[in-house]
Amino acid sequence: MITENRDYDALVQDINIGDITSSEHNANILRRLRDDDPDWNKTLYILEDEIDGDIDEFIIRAGDDLGWLGYFIGRSEVLKALHIHVLPEEREQLVAFMRGIIHNQSIKELGIQTDLGDQGLRSLGHFLRNHNALTHLRFVYFHVDTDCAHNIAMALVQCRHNSLLSFELDETNISDEAFSEIATALRTQSQLEELHLGRNNIGRDGCVALVNTLCVWQSSNLKFLDLSSNNIDDLRLCALVEGMSNCSNLQNLYLSDNDQITAAGIRSMSPLFQSESCSLKCIMLDSINLGDEGAIALADGLRGNKSLRHLMFDPVSAGVTDVGWAAFSKLLCDTSSINNTYLSNHTLEWVGSLFYDDSDIPPDIRQYIAWNKDQRIDAAICKILKTHDHFDMKPFFQWKLKFLPVMVAWFQRARAAGLEHLLGSKKLSSMYDFVRSMPMLVLGGHQGQEKTLRRSRKPGIRSISPLLQSESCSLTELSLYRINFGDEGAIALADGLRGNKSKRHLNFNPNDSGITDVGWTAFSMLLCDTSSINNTYLSNHTIERIGDAYCANPPDIEQYLAWNRDERSGAATAICKILESHSDLDIKPFLQWKLKFLPVIIIWLGRAQEAGLEQSLGGRKLSSVYNFVRGMPMLVIGGQDKEKTSRRSRKRRLDGETK
C-alpha cells in the first residue's frame, strides 16, 4: 500500500528496486531512470501489454509500485518522451505516480492515451505550470468526456512557458461542447506550430470556438492544422477559412474524410489561397467527392497562388472527369496566349495522391507538374516552348540586338531544361517575337539585366556588349555575384564597357569570380589606359565600384575608382589620371600656338588644383602643359573655340571704336 506522504528522498538509498517492480525488465527501466543511463533511447512507454518487448516498455503488473516509477521519472534529467497508455484505477497508485512526474524538467514530449481522472489531470496542470521544456502534448485514442475536457482546458491555461509547439487531440469521441472548451483554452497558446485535431466530430460550436482562437492569435506561428474526419460541412469550412486566413505561416492543411464538403465549400477557400500572405504548401482532400465543380473551384482559387506545392486527393474516388482535369490543366498551363502560359501556375509539384499510381492523372498534367518540380525556375520556358510554335516578331525588328542577352539566356535555360530539340526550328525572328509577347520578361531583360546575367557564362557576358555600348543605354548597375567568369569574362566586361557613360556599379565577389592579375589588368586599362594621353582621357571615368564593397581591389583600381567617385574631381577626373600617369609631356609640336592656349592652361591648372593635385603640378612648366594639350586634340578644339569667341569679341570692340 502506498502512503501519500512517503519520503522518497529519504528511502531511495536503501530501496531494493527488485522489491518494487514486477519483473527484471521493469527493474532495469527504473535503474536506467535512476542512473540517467546515457545509452538509453530516452523514451518510456507505460503499457498494459508489451508491443515490441523493447527496453523502453514498462509493462504494469501486480507488484509494480507506481509511486517509485513516478519518483524516478521526476528525478530523471535525460528522459525526453513519456507515453502513458494505461494507469491503474487505484487512486493512491495514480496520485503517487503523478506527484512524482510533476518534478521532471527534461521531458519534451508527453503522450496520454488514458483518462487520468480528476486528480491526475489536476496534477498535470501543476506539471505544465512548472515545466518549461515540454514541446509536444498529446491526448489520443480515449474518450474525453465533459469533465475530462474541462480538466484538460484548465491544465492548458496553466501552461505559461510558451515552450509548447504541438498539441494533439485525436480520435477522442469528444462532444461539441467539450471540444469548444478546449479550443477556447488554446487561446493562451499562440506560439503553437502544430494542431492535430483529427477524428473528433467537431460540431458547429466547436468550429466557432476554434475560429475565435485562431483569430485572436497575433502573429500566429501555426504551420500544421489537421481537421480530418470531423464532419465539417460547407458552412463550417467557410467559417474556418476566416481563422486560417489569420495564420500566415500555415503550410499544411488536412481536410480529408470530411465528405460533406462540396464545391461551394471549396470555393469559399479562394480568399485563403489568393491571399498575398498565404504560405500553404500542402492541402489534403482525400475521401472528398470533389466532382468537376470542386475541381474547377480549386483551379480557379489557385490562380495566382505561388506557395502550394502538393494538392492531395484520390483521383479515383474524387469524381473528377475530363472537365475537371481540363480545369487543372489550364491552371498549370493556359495555352490561350504566351502571356497566359507565363502567368500559369508553376509551383504545384503534385496533383492527386502519393499513395496511388499516377496513371489516373492525364499525361499533360503529369508533364506540367514534372516541369514544375524538376525545372522550378524554368518551368514557364518549358511550357511556352512546348505549347507555342509560332511567334510573330515583326513589331520588334527595330530593337535589333538590344534583346540579345535575353535571347542568349533563354536559349541556355531551354537547353538546360532538356528542350533543345524544340528550339531547332525556331529562328532568331521567332525568339524576338517571343520576347515581344512577354512584356514582363522584356522589362526584366531590358531594364534589369542582373537576373539574366546571373545565369550567363563568358560568351553570354561578351554578348551584352551591344547593350552596354548603345547610345541609349541607361544601365547604372550590373550584378554578377556567384558567376565564375574568370579572366576571359573580365576582359569581355572591360571591352564591353569602353565608351559606356551610364554604368556606376559593377558588382561581383572577387573571391569567387576566378579573376587573376590578367583580369584586373583589363579593368585597370578600362579605368585608366596609360598607353597615351588621349587614351587616358578616353578611359572610363563614370564607374564608381568594381567588385564588392567588402572585398579589397588592387591599389591602382581603388585609386581610379576613388577619383571617379570623388565629387571634387567632377569633370577633372581625366585630369587626375593624366597628371598622375604621364610625367613627360612634349610640347615642341605646339610651340607655334604660343599664347593661344593660355585660357586652356589656366582652366586645367584651376581644375587640377580643385581636385587636390596641386602638388603634382609643382614641377611642371608651361611647356609641359602645352605638351599635355598637344596629346588632347579634343581639348585643343575646345581651345580653338574659345579663341574664335575672343576674336569675335575683339572685332565687336574695334567696330564700336570706329563708330
Q: Comparing 258-262, 297-301, 437-441, 520-524, which segment has the lowest mean pLDDT?
A: 437-441
Task: Give SS3 for 573.
Answer: helix
Is the pLDDT reported for residue 334 higher than 90?
yes
Share of the chain above pLDDT 90, in %: 49
Confidence at residue 420, expressed as pLDDT on a 0 to 100 scale:
67
Is the pLDDT reported for residue 473 higher than 60?
yes
The domain locations on the chain are 448-565, 588-658
Residue 220: partners with Cβ closer than 8 Å, 6 or more residues away: 190, 214, 246, 247, 248, 249, 250
Confidence at residue 600, expressed as pLDDT on a 0 to 100 scale:
57
More confident call, 472 vs 425: 472
Which whole number is the average pLDDT over 563-590?
68
Give pLDDT tens digits for 117-154.
999 999 999 999 989 999 999 999 999 999 999 999 99
Query: What is the identity of the amino acid at 630?
Result: R
Residue 393: partners with Cβ closer than 8 Å, 6 or more residues away: 429, 430, 431, 432, 433, 434, 435, 436
Measured between alpha carbons, how far is 201 from 452 in angstroms, rounded to an integer?
53
Confidence at residue 604, expressed as pLDDT on a 0 to 100 scale:
62
CA 408, 410, 416, 420: dihedral to nearest 10 degrees?
-90
Q: Which runs of E-coded beta strand occur in 475-607?
A: 477-479, 505-507, 545-547
Confidence at residue 446, expressed as pLDDT on a 0 to 100 scale:
41
Is the pLDDT reported for residue 265 higher than 80?
yes
Confidence at residue 111, expressed as pLDDT on a 0 to 100 scale:
98
The values of phi and psi at residue 314, to 5°, are: -85, 110
Q: Comparing 168-182, 185-199, 227-241, 404-418, which segment has the lowest mean pLDDT?
A: 404-418
β-strand partners of 225: 195, 253
Q: Comparing 99-113, 160-174, 525-539, 562-576, which segment has the lowest mean pLDDT?
A: 562-576
Give pLDDT tens digits for 66-103.
999 999 999 999 999 999 999 988 888 999 999 999 99
Confidence at residue 612, expressed as pLDDT on a 0 to 100 scale:
61
Is the pLDDT reported for residue 227 higher than 60?
yes
Which whole number is the average pLDDT over 326-334?
97
Is the whole-model pTM more than 0.95?
no
Is the pLDDT reported for residue 582 higher than 60?
yes
Q: Which runs of E-coded beta strand occur in 387-532?
A: 477-479, 505-507
Confidence at residue 388, expressed as pLDDT on a 0 to 100 scale:
79
Confidence at residue 482, expressed as pLDDT on a 0 to 100 scale:
81
Q: Comparing 203-217, 299-313, 342-356, 639-653, which segment has the lowest mean pLDDT?
A: 639-653
Is the pLDDT reported for residue 268 higher than 50?
yes
Give pLDDT tens digits for 358-417.
788 999 999 999 999 987 668 888 888 888 776 555 444 444 445 555 565 666 667 666
Confidence at residue 287, expressed as pLDDT on a 0 to 100 scale:
93
Confidence at residue 513, expressed as pLDDT on a 0 to 100 scale:
86
Contact 55, 31 (CB under 8 A): no
Confidence at residue 577, expressed as pLDDT on a 0 to 100 scale:
80
Give pLDDT tens digits for 229-252.
999 999 999 999 999 999 999 999
Is the pLDDT reported for residue 625 higher than 70?
no
Confidence at residue 456, expressed as pLDDT on a 0 to 100 scale:
37
CATH topology of domain 448-565: 3.80.10
Contact 333, 368 (CB under 8 A): yes
Contact 359, 352 (CB under 8 A): no
Confidence at residue 445, expressed as pLDDT on a 0 to 100 scale:
43
Is the pLDDT reported for residue 538 higher than 90?
no
Give pLDDT tens digits for 29-79.
999 999 999 888 899 999 999 888 888 999 999 999 999 999 999 999 999
Contact 553, 522 (CB under 8 A): no
- Return mean pLDDT, the chain: 82
Contact 426, 392 (CB under 8 A): no
Which whole number is the average pLDDT over 289-307?
96
More confident call, 341 vs 626: 341
pLDDT interval class at 453 (50, 70, 90): very low
